[in-house]
A and B are shown apart, each in its own frame.
Chain A
Amino acid sequence: MNDMTNKWIGQRTIRPDGAEKVTGRAAYAADTTMPGMIWGKVLRSPHAHAVIRSIDTAKAEALPGVKAVVTRADIVDFPLDKPVMLGIQDMRWMSRNVMAREKALFHGHPVAAVAATSESIAAEALRLIEVEYEVLPHVIEIDDALRPDAPILHDFLRFEGKPSNIAGKLEHKLGNIEAGFAEADVVIERSFTTRPVHQGYIEPHACLVSVAADGKTTIWSSSQGQFMVRAMTALLTGLPQSDIRAIPAEIGGGFGGKTIIYLEPLATLLSKKSGRPVKMVMSREEVMRASGPTSGSKSTVKIGATRDGRLVAAQGTFWLQAGALPGSPIRGAAGCGFAPYTIPNVVATGFDVVSNRSKVAAYRAPGAPIGAYAVECVIDEVAEALGMDPLELRLKNAARQGTKAAHGPVYPRIGFMETIEAAQAHPHYNTPLGEAPAGRLRGRGVASGFWFNAGGESSAQVNITEDGNVVVTTGHPDIGGSRASIANITAELLGIDYKRVSVLIGDTATIGYSNLTGGSRVLFASAMVVTQSAEKVITSLKERAAKIWKIDPEAVAWENGEARPVSENAGRFPPLSLAELAARATETGGPIGAGVQLNTTGAEGGFATHLCDVEVDVDLGIVRVLRYTSFQDVGRAVHPSYVEGQMQGGAAQGIGWALNEEYIYDRQGRVENAGFLDYRMPVCSDLPMLDAVMIEVPNPKHPQGVRGVGEVPLVPPLAAVANAVHDALGKRFYALPMSPPRVLERLEG
């Protein structure tokens, strides 16, 4: 069931959440209130690295209006000797991230939390908490953290037998790297750095938690996974999961940053102690200082090619900042960088490095943009050295069906080559850059990228209402258009108008376990469970029609939203519509509905190729993007507007990462630009229209051909912009961001 004759799949239907959002009615976590509600606030470490000798909360507790105070003593601790994994998160680290334990590990690390009858009393109470610190030397940058005499963050971490800030290592190997380089005519090796960047979601973290006298707990919060919220809160507070109901609020952006929790366990403990519902909302400054950005990095990439343009060997080493606790996305950096190419000999190594910064959280294709930046810039240099067109070199070496990737898989049918060919044929690539005004230079760059994508657990329930309409419930917060896409799919399967389908996101008590919204998995996985549920509903509908007609269910077909008798019975009875069958549900066997719960598999990787034109003001060092086009294998664009939106959003974020975004630290290890004024994400006027060319090579392992589309778009832009800047200036940059002072310095140097 997937072709271009589809009626609803592939339509730009009106988004179901649109009217609520544009009229301001959509309920975000911070909009939720309850009778008797009080306010929680977090006391944060003023030091980047310090032993917490003591915490005295007596004065704060004595302040009128203060209802509860929590400290490290209240959070469940986990023994350090063995991992406590929840998905990819280790709860040993999560516990220490939501509340500092022996040491404060970054400026902004939570040290205590209070709840009081007003926000100002809560703020006053924070000032009354007395914390005795023993300040330690701190370390922020990777090179400093790796020095032999570096301050060690965790004495329980060992690397190669010695105390170290290296928390982990990962290696992918394929073929024989030495033999590969020996075969090469051209070998290019370069080192790169990138700065930590924040996801930049507009909605700060927020929650409201109510713990009733019997311990039954309700959490309203902004997250990418209500089941993740429930599980992590249960683990960190000691409550059983069955006592917690986590209700997902409408979400104002996450981009990966809301795949972990910060406030929920604190609010739960405060509510439990005070007996009152507790609301907590981070300020933008808290978001920037203490929620996870993605890693800063340094990497070295070496690629060898033969004279005729075959990539024969590739080696990459990627060091990523994890922040204060282990867990940087080295898998994405080391796994994705070389994944778009057929290279027989590969070694890709990642190192997870801790330092005194906020713990990183996922950010769209975690790690992959960092890996691709280094790899795609070196490939550009290889093309230059070979005198080859950079797209031609990529096409010649493009991964295809049967390619064995260094990170493991052998690819099934993929559409990477199609993205390159589409770029080559596109007017963008064939239109000259045109003459720049005086004092400016123009250039064009290309880059490609890969992201794993993911399957995993999803649940769905499809119910037919008594009046013959449809309510679909799934378990994933919608951050990328999943409700609209599921409505399209359900309407297609049932053969009804999509307006008759309502799609809801269930809470942890109303829908089965569903893994979080991340890894570009949601439409892939939820379409599978919705499809199977809808198929069960159709089977039931056919059985009911057969019962009414007293014929064999095999002799009933479901077409265009109605049951029809077929084969020898064809034409003997008038068709029965969904509404008619719904009306007769009670007599034909009761309510009509079906649910399916699955651990989905078959989410194959996604590929993209991006083209970027820039213009550089050579006297001010300002780089402006003039034109940008993304080409992506999107599998099947169930709702094209949303797919394009994902492609545009990723490109915009990548351009920001390449040009201006960075965390800036002062000497004391404090973030100096904890706000949108000085943390410079692009604004609309900074960008041209970002063109998106969707290429549909259906995923053979999915009923609708869906591939994840949400993360690949952030993988190529860093290198696409860097390669364009090189084309404009004739000079290469090996560090991001290419902000005006750095560009000018390089031009003058």
Chain B
Amino acid sequence: MELSHQQLADLYYRLWLIRLFDAAARRLFMENKLRGTTHTYTGQEAVAVGACSVLRPDDYITSTHRGHGHVLAKGGDPRRMMAELLGKATGYCKGKGGSMHIADLDIGVLGANGIVGGGIGIATGAAYSATVRGTDQVAICFFGDGASNQGILMEAGNMAALWRLPIIYLCEENQYAEFSPSRPFMAVEKLEQKAAAFGMPGVTVDGNDLLAVRRVVGEAVARARAGDGPTFVVAQTYRVEGHTVGDPLTYRPPEEAEQWRSPERDPIQRFGRKLVDDFGFTSAELKGLHEQAQQTIDEAIRFAEESPEPEPADLWEDVLA
């Protein structure tokens, strides 16, 4: 799939949208405008943007506690997301979900999730549903390297392979699970080996290379749409910031994250260079896209701050259909 100049520009814009959304989320959290916890996707943007770039609007994704990037990549509205972070009535969940629970059923986002591994069954169910309804929709299930140790992956992965479901299990190996490195908690040498136990192909990709993610996930999606079953994709990346905003990061050397912030590794800078070197973009153009993303985020914050709180009676709404 060749990408037009406009499409490439949009991908670059989206990377910045996610980066800047999370920068804003971090700042608002530190200003005590958010409640609970919030998790940033900083450094992993190319995974969501690359993967979602091969999806159609009617395809599905499930997301995680670190979900802002997935939702934005699938086409989520930053204004309604920001309003949700501030607990406003105009938010995606009417202020009832917050940072960890953003969903947009209209664009196939079946929810971020507070339960590690909580999306695995749901995504597999969406893929099953597509086969029963006779559509060629596919589902991407985003989850972390830590989540790959949840039992439900074994169960759902087996069924997906048995039933040749149109799903991509997209494991983001960001090297951490909460306050521990994730590696010491996996007996397999490479995460993709887990795919063998489910009986499906396993592929590993550089998650900080947007076009590589797009290629690998694109092939998996094509297989899935053609009825050839699921794929287990491991995107190798790095959680540049703390587990949650406010995490003092006492458990890892600061130099480590610095390396991943460097122009050589940072997914946005890498993609930007590629656009200039191989696709005829000018640095002024890139700067313009970056600024445009900043404007969108600023506008989202304004919208969120000016939005009303839910009414007390809303407490009782939406418990049942």
A, B in one complex? no
B: residues with CB less than 8 A from A are none
A: residues with CB less than 8 A from B are none
